[in-house]
C-alpha cells in the first residue's frame, strides 16, 4: 500500500491510499474555498448524562447533487472536486462540514445545568472507490482490503490526537437513510468523549465479566455459532449473524472470531477474509426486495483510554426497510422511550438472507 498525504485549498488534509507504488498524487486543489468553520459546541444533557453537538454550519452542506456535480468524484478539466487527482483508489479527507474539529471559535455558557465546551475532534470522509455508480457490495476483495487498511490507519492516527476518546468508522447508504452524497463513501468520527452506546455496552460487559469471568461479546458469538439458526454467513475468521434481540427489521452483526480491540489489530489473513463475507451479506440484503437496501454499517471499536480489555471489534449492519415499499420509522416508543419494537422475527430475517441466491 502507498500512502500519500497532501492538503486541499483551505488547508484540510487529504490522504490517498493506493495499491500501486507508482501512483501519482501530485495534482493540486485549485479551488477558492471559504475559511473553515469553527468547531461545533458541545452541550451537556444532565438528564441523560450525554453530550450533544450543535453544529449550525452543517445546515449549508452539499445535499444530493447530480452525478456531474459530485464532490467525491475525481477532478476533471473544468470541474474541480474535493479530490484533485484525475483518478484514485481510496481517498480520505477532512470533512468540509465537520461535526467536530480543532478549529475553535467563541463559546458562551447558556446557564442552567448545561455546560458548553468546544466540539474538539475530527471528522473525515472515506471514498471507497472513484466509481460514482458503484457500491461497497461491488468492491473487489483487494479493494475492500485497501479500505480496511485505510480505516486502520485513520483509527491509529485519530486515536493519537489530543482529547480524542473514541474513533468511529461507519457508512450510511441510501436516500432513505438520509445520505447527502450518493457516491460510495463512509465517514470517520473522532469523538471527544465515549459515546453513550459504547458506554452502555461496556458497562454490560463489565457486569457480565464480574458475574461469569468471561467476555460478554465472545460468549454472544459462541452462543450464536452454536445455535446456528441466526447465522447468515461465516468463514475461518468472521461470523455474520442476526442478533436474537435485533432492533431493526434486517440487522446483521459481523464478528471477528477472536477478540481484538480495533481495526488496527487485524492481521493480513483476517483483512483478506472480511471482504468476501461482508460483500456477500450486502448482496443478500440487496436481493431481498430487488432494490438497493438502505443501511447503516457501524464499526464498534474500543475507546482510546477505557474498556479496551472488555471491547470486541465487530460491525453492526442494519436497515430500516421492512418490506418492498415499507420503511420502519422510529415512532413514539423508539424515539421517545428508546424501547424498540421489531416487525420481523430475527430467525425469519436470517432465513430470508440465507435463502438469497447470490451471483
The predicted-structure confidence for 308-337, as pLDDT tens digits, reads as follows 999 999 999 999 999 999 999 999 999 999
Query: Considering the entire predicted model, what is its pTM?
Result: 0.97
Q: Is residue 264 scored above 90 in pLDDT? A: yes
Q: Is residue 359 scored above 80 in pLDDT? A: no
What domains are defined for the chain?
2-195 (3.30.428.10), 197-354 (3.30.428.10)
Mean per-residue pLDDT of the chain: 96
Torsions phi, psi for 235 (to 5 deg): -145, -165
Instruction: Quickly state the pLDDT bin for 59 (edges 50, 70, 90).
Output: confident
Q: List residues with catalytic annotation.
A: 185
CB 255 within 8 A of CB 233: no
Which pLDDT score is estimated for 61?
A: 84
Q: Is residue 141 scored above 80 in pLDDT? A: yes
Q: Is residue 174 scored above 90 in pLDDT? A: yes
pLDDT in tens, 348-358: 999 999 999 87
Cell numbers placing 115: 455546560
**Residue 306, Cβ neighbours under 10 Å: how many?**
15
Average pLDDT in the 236-253 region?
98
Instruction: Quickly state the pLDDT bin for 297 (edges 50, 70, 90).
Output: very high
Average pLDDT in the 161-187 region?
96
Instruction: Quickly state the pLDDT bin for 56 (edges 50, 70, 90).
Output: confident
Positive/negative CA dihedral, 320, 326, 331, 333:
negative
Which pLDDT score is estimated for 19?
A: 97
HEC sequence for 287-312: HHHCCCCCEEEEEECCCCCCCCCCCC
Phi/psi region, residue 9 (left: phi>0; alpha: psi -120 to 50; beta: rest), is alpha
Which pLDDT score is estimated for 62?
A: 84
Residue 332: partners with Cβ closer than 8 Å, 6 or more residues away: none
Q: In DSSP terms, which residues pair with 6 in a beta bridge?
A: 14
Amino acid at each position: 500500500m502507498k500512502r500519500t498525504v497532501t492538503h486541499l485549498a483551505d488547508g484540510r488534509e487529504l490522504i490517498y491510499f493506493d495499491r500501486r507504488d507508482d501512483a501519482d498524487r501530485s495534482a493540486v486543489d485549485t479551488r477558492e474555498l471559504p475559511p473553515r468553520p469553527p468547531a461545533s459546541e458541545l452541550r451537556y444533557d444532565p438528564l441523560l448524562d450525554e453530550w450533544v453537538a450543535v453544529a449550525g454550519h452543517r445546515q449549508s452542506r452539499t445535499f444530493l447533487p447530480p452525478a456531474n456535480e459530485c464532490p467525491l468524484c475525481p477532478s476533471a478539466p473544468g470541474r474541480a472536486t474535493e479530490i484533485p487527482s484525475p483518478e484514485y483508489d481510496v481517498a480520505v479527507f477532512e470533512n468540509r462540514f465537520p461535526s467536530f474539529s480543532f478549529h475553535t471559535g467563541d463559546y458562551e455558557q447558556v446557564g442552567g445545568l448545561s455546560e458548553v465546551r468546544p466540539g474538539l475532534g475530527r471528522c473525515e470522509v472515506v471514498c471507497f472507490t472513484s466509481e460514482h455508480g458503484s457500491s461497497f457490495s461491488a468492491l473487489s476483495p483487494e479493494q475492500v482490503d485497501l479500505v480496511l487498511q485505510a480505516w486502520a490507519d485513520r483509527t491509529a492516527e485519530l486515536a493519537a490526537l489530543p482529547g480524542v476518546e473514541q474513533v468511529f468508522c461507519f457508512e450510511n447508504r441510501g436516500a432513505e437513510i438520509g445520505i447527502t452524497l450518493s457516491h460510495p463513501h463512509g465517514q470517520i468520527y473522532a469523538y471527544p468523549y465515549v459515546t453513550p452506546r459504547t458506554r452502555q455496552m461496556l458497562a454490560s460487559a463489565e457486569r457480565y465479566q464480574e458475574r461469569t469471568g468471561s467476555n460478554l461479546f465472545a460468549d454472544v458469538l459462541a452462543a450464536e455459532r452454536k445455535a446456528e439458526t441466526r447465522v447468515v454467513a461465516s468463514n475461518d475468521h468472521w461470523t455474520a449473524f442476526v442478533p436474537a434481540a435485533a432492533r431493526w427489521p434486517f440487522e446483521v452483526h459481523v464478528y471477528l472470531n477472536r477478540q481484538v480491540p480495533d481495526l488496527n489489530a487485524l492481521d493480513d489473513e483476517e483483512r483478506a477474509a472480511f471482504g468476501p463475507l461482508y460483500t456477500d451479506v450486502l448482496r443478500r440484503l440487496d436481493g431481498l426486495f430487488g432494490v438497493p437496501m438502505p443501511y447503516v454499517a457501524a464499526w464498534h471499536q474500543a475507546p482510546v483510554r477505557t474498556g479496551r480489555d472488555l471491547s470486541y471489534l465487530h460491525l453492526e449492519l442494519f436497515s430500516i426497510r421492512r418490506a418492498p415499499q415499507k420503511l420502519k420509522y422510529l415512532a413514539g416508543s423508539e424515539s421517545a422511550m428508546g424501547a424498540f419494537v421489531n416487525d420481523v422475527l430475527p430467525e425469519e430475517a436470517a432465513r430470508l438472507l440465507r435463502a438469497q441466491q447470490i451471483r
